[in-house]
Structure 1
Amino acid sequence: MEKKPCSESLTVKTSHVLPPDTNTHGTLFGGKLMAHIDDVAAIAAVRHSRKPVVTASTDSVDFLHPVKEGDSICVEAFVTWTHNTSMEVFVKAVTEDLLTGNRKVCTTAFLTFVAIDEEGRPIPVPQVYPVTDHEKKLHDNGALRAAHRKERRKQSKELAEDFGTSFPWTR
Structure 2
Amino acid sequence: MRVKDTIDIHHFKVEQADLNHLGILFGGKLLAKIDSSLAGSVKKMTNERAVTGSVDKVRFIKALALGEEVTIKSMVSGHSDRVIEVLGLIYNGEHELAAYAMLTFVVLNKQVKLPELVPETEFEANLIAGFLKRAELSQALHNEIKTELTTRDERDI
Taking structure 1 as the reference length, the TM-score comes to: 0.84
Structure 2 counterpart of 1:17:
14
Structure 2 counterpart of 1:44:
41
Rounded to whole Å, the distance in 1 between the matches of 2:152 and 2:95 is: 43
Decide whether the 8 Å contact of 2:57 with 2:103 is kept in 1: no
Pair 1:105-2:97 in alignment: yes
> When the two structures are aligned, how many residues end up with a matched partner?
157
Gaps of 5+ in 2: none
Return the letter of the residue paired with 1:83: S
Aligned-pair CA distance for 1:43: 1.5
Identity %: 24
Return the letter of the residue paired with 2:136: A
Rounded to whole Å, the distance in 1 between the matches of 2:18 and 2:62 is: 16
Pair 1:86-2:83 in alignment: yes
Of 128, 149, 154, the residue aligned with 2:138 is 149
Q: Which runs of 4+ in 1 moved over 4 A?
A: none
Aligned-pair CA distance for 1:163: 4.4
Aligned-pair CA distance for 1:28: 0.5
Rounded to whole Å, the distance in 2 between the matches of 1:162 and 1:69 is: 45
Rounded to whole Å, the distance in 2 between the matches of 1:70 and 1:103 is: 15
Structure 2 counterpart of 1:99:
none
Rounded to whole Å, the distance in 1 between the matches of 2:134 and 2:45 is: 19
Rounded to whole Å, the distance in 1 between the matches of 2:88 and 2:72 is: 7
Taking structure 2 as the reference length, the TM-score comes to: 0.91
Structure 1 counterpart of 2:26:
29
- RMSD over aligned CA atoms reads 1.7
Partner secondary structure for residue 129 of structure 1: coil
Gaps of 5+ in 1: 97-101
Rounded to whole Å, the distance in 2 between the matches of 1:40 and 1:51 is: 16
Aligned-pair CA distance for 1:167: 4.4
1:21-45 superposed Cα distances (whole Å, 9 cap, x missing partner)? 1112111010111011111111211
Aligned-pair CA distance for 1:152: 1.4
